[in-house]
Amino acid sequence: MIEIYSKDYVKEQKEKMAERVEALKAKGIHPSMTTFLVQGRSANAQYAKVKGRFAETVGVDYHLVELDAETTTEDLIKAIEEKNQDPNTHGIMVEMPLPEHIDESQIRVALDPNKDVDALHPIHLGNLLHQRPSTIPNTPLAAMKMLELADTEFKGKDCVVIGNSTVVGRPLAELLEQKEATVTLCHIFTNDTAKFTREADIVCSATGVPHLVTEDMIKEGATVVDIGTTYTEDGKLLGDVDYENVAPKTRAITPVPGGVGPVTQVMLFDQMITRLEKEAN
């Protein structure tokens, strides 16, 4: 059984990224990212701080804009549009989910697609489906990288993705299909998810339901990618998979923490830096 830890990969990529950022600065380009955080959800605040630490490590300017919980859709759109027009802002993020009173769909389309580093704008999903160059949602990209680090075969394999969000589940299913895998997408209304996972060579879970995936749902020798992130009241991070009991049955498995999450940060900054490098050339 292979435990797919991301620590070494992330360390290596950070070092390379810092060099790439220095090269951009030598050309007069100082990579800068802004994250909008609407207060009210502690997990969002934690994610925003993680990005800030990563940015500092690789030399990217990072600006966290904290907005109070009463911020309206119009207020947030106005703030985003200011950064859309700012030539010194190269990447924009909005921590999701937003409070219920804010129209998330309006926020997504307000983002300049070129600066939308988390691929929230719907144009990115359309481009992915048509295999056109575009920003790809970072978490699915990170999940694919973890599978590649474990030398996973895709062609002709049966895959199950649990969770059908437009930022994780659906784009991940598309990326797997582009590798010529056969993909089943399960969600909250799937009658018997275990029926599908028991036959799967690859299982990826992104629901945010701790220990949703249990030992009896996985066949011997399967590869399991845990994308779930749920913080307990005491600050402990849990994944979707009952790791202790599932891991012994698998060919390879990602832990939480120490698996997909840190690689998501790599993909986030890598995609922005790659775009700036192309523009500089």
- Secondary structure of 65-129 as H, E, C letters: EEECCCCCHHHHHHHHHHHHHCCCCCEEEECCCCCCCCCHHHHHHHCCCCCECCCCCHHHHHHHH
230 is in an annotated binding site: no
Residue 167 — φ and ψ, nearest 5°? Answer: -105, -15
SS3 category, 252: strand
Contacts of 13 (CB under 8 A, 6+ apart): 266, 270
**Helix (H) or strand (E) run with residue 246 in it:** helix 243-246
Q: Compute CA distances 23 → 19, 90, 176, whole Å.
A: 6, 16, 34
Identify the H or E element spanning 224.
strand 223-226
Q: Is 229 annotated as a binding residue?
A: yes
Task: Enter the tokens of residue 58.
Answer: 């690789």
Query: Residues 231-234: contacts with CB within 8 Å, 24+ apart?
Result: 231/42, 231/43, 231/46
- Is there a contact between 241 and 221 (Cβ–Cβ < 8 Å)? no
Joined together, the tokens standing for residue 37 give 């955080």
Q: Which amino acid is at 190?
A: T
Assigned token pair, 57: 């490590």
Residue located via tokens 């990529």: 13
Q: Torsions phi, psi of 31, nearest 5?
A: -55, 130
> Is 165 assigned a ligand-binding role in the annotation?
yes
DSSP code at position 111: S
Residue 191, annotated ligand binder? no
Locate 73 and state its tokens: 């859709």
Binding residues are 163-165, 188, 229
Binding residues for NADP(+) are 163-165, 188, 229
